Amino acid sequence: MRVLSGVQSSGRLHLGNYLGAMKQHIEAQEAHECFYFIANYHSLTTVTEPDRLRAYTRDVALDYLALGLDPETACLFRQTDVPEVTELTWILSTVTGKGLLERATSYKDKIAKGLQASMGLFSYPILMAADILIYRSDVVPVGKDQVQHIEMAQDMAASFNHMFECEVLKRPEAKLNEAMIVPGVDGQKMSKSYGNTVELFDSSKATRKRIMSIKTDSTPLEAAKDPETCNVFAIYRLLAAPAEVRGLEAQYRAGGMGYGEAKKQLAEVVERVLGPARERRRRLEADPDYVEDVLRAAGEKARGVAQGVMEDVRSACGLITAKDTHR
């Protein structure tokens, strides 16, 4: 089974990325054929400084490798190393109704948050569908907020196949991640766009300071607290061992513990989980040639798959290239 997912290179990756996607991606590599791309085309909707985009793209690769992605098992590549994906995006746009895109809740949410209403942001689901369909992906792991994008990719594949009377594009299926939506320090979904993140590989001191800033209510120290409504506990339960989760939950319900103590316990768990990976990342950062070799080799593999699919797509549409005239 081929698993496909992507991560935007639009900022430093954070706990929401790890718990919502990256952890599952790394776990899946032993059981499935995994294609993971660094979505630097997508990032242009928010990042317009070339140096920043290049740095963020490399950061994503470093983060995945530091967290345990095995380049001998999984395919980690840059989206831009497969330019055919933009060709498929245009072709899909010719069979996609404007109304489908207008119903995208992600677009509406981002506009409401003040992002520019560009055509790139509006047509984002078409590029995302091309990313999925060009590798004939079987499964796409996503959070609940991304299920609509997979449904749109299914619609686009069906529309293309119907329009051109073929079965070229494979219907992908969404696989819901087990993790709930990870709250940011302000209580909203943790997102680079909202500036409310706890970064994966900040220093121990900076990470602790960020965790101590997580928004909580004004329940007095001596009073019992509801862990189910607490942003600190919501993150803790996704990282800590089951026994630790039960222990902290009991402290919440018993009273006598302030939110500051809960934050300290969360900071300790975060350091336990990410501390060793932080050291691996430092070593990888000192070997840029190795990281580039990983990305280049994976890009070649992914592009080989994409080129085969695009030959079928062009044939179905009646599109001719110079290569076709010499057959």
DSSP class of 237: H
Q: What are phi and psi of 47, to 5 degrees?
A: -115, 120
Residue 229 sits at the vertex; the CA angle it makes with 223 and 231, to the nearest 5 degrees, is 100
8 Å CB contact between 55 and 89: no
Question: Is 205 tagged catalytic?
Answer: no
> Of 30, 124, 117, which Cα lies nearest the Cα of 74?
30
Q: Considering 170, 189, 215, 301, which one is annotated as catalytic?
A: 189
8 Å CB contact between 34 and 74: yes
CB atoms within 10 A of CB 90: 12
| Burial degree of 210 (CB within 10 A; 0-12, 13-18, 19+) | buried
- Residue 173, CA atoms < 13 Å, CB-side half-sphere: 5
Cβ contacts of 202 within 8 Å, gap of 6 or more: 12, 210
Q: Considering 23, 175, 192, 225, which one is annotated as catalytic?
A: 192
Which strands sit side by side in the sheet containing 2-8, from one edge to the other?
75-78, 33-39, 2-8, 139-142, 173-176
Return d(Cα 121, Cα 127) in angstroms, integer.
10
Question: Is 215 tagged catalytic?
Answer: no
Q: Considering 23, 110, 175, 263, which one is annotated as catalytic?
A: 110
| Burial degree of 61 (CB within 10 A; 0-12, 13-18, 19+) | buried
Question: Is 189 tagged catalytic?
Answer: yes
| Burial degree of 324 (CB within 10 A; 0-12, 13-18, 19+) | exposed
Cβ contacts of 267 within 8 Å, gap of 6 or more: 207, 208, 211, 212
As a 3-state breakdown, the chain gives helix, strand, coil percent values, each rounded to 5, of 60, 10, 30
Active site residues: 110, 189, 192
